[in-house]
Amino acid sequence: MRYVRIPFFVAAMLFATISFAAETEATSANPELEASAKEWLVKLFEASKKVNGPEQKAARAHIENSLDWDEVARTCLGDAEWKKQAGKNRTEFRNLLKEVIVRTAFTRMDKFWDGATYAWEKATIEGKRVTLRTKFSLKEDSYLLDYYMEKSKSGWHITDLAFEDLRYSVNISEQLNSYLKEKNFGNLLTNLRKKRDGLIGGKKG
């Protein structure tokens, strides 16, 4: 499988200046749940416009809280490797992955998505899980992004994303599994710490 060398979730979760395009028709077995998911995602888009402005603290917290980081970490690492690790290793991996993702993302999104438009393409619903396929247009280019979302008592959360049908969790998991065939989990944590510290030292994010 080909690898997508785009920072995880950067090109899919977080947006800066996004305007509405006309919505295409989408059918759903639960139109109220679909509408709720879309409304929540639009608010997330709006928050992303403010991540590097005067309201950045609240905006960044909004975005960080929009992902189910436990699920993201487990899915990216893979069930087999996740089960092998002690609780403290899982927690550190989750926290480091989150820091690297959000610090990388916040440095780029307000420039990367300037002038983009989007339209809903399709909604797929299974219980409390909704996948929203969204078509983005940026200058002369366009692409499809799928948002995998789940609603719990605490509200909506993003659990995964797909770029042109390639799921980010699968892409990241394959890279991590390849790395762990040659290095151990301790090395992985060390590299993530270095990446995190480099982002902090460079005052990025």
Domain carrying residue 44: 10-192
| pLDDT by 10-residue block (mean), the chain, 205 residues | 37 35 50 95 88 90 92 89 94 94 80 80 94 89 92 92 89 89 94 92 56
Q: Specify the pLDDT at position 52.
A: 87
Q: Specify the pLDDT at position 110.
A: 66
Q: Contact, 120 vs 133, CB < 8 A?
A: yes
The amino acid present at 5, given as its one-letter code, is R
**CA–CA gap between residue 89 and residue 96 (Å, rounded):** 10
Is position 187 within any domain? yes
The C-alpha angle with vertex 168 and arms to 167 and 171, in degrees rounded to 5, equals 95
Q: Specify the pLDDT at position 18.
A: 31
Q: Specify the pLDDT at position 51.
A: 85
The C-alpha angle with vertex 163 and arms to 160 and 166, in degrees rounded to 5, equals 80
Instruction: Tell me how many helices (H) and strands (E) the chain has.
Output: 9, 6
Tell me the CATH number at 80: 3.10.450.710
Is position 140 within any domain? yes
Number of structural domains (the chain) is: 1
**CA–CA gap between residue 165 and residue 157 (Å, rounded):** 20
Is position 202 within any domain? no
Is position 26 within any domain? yes
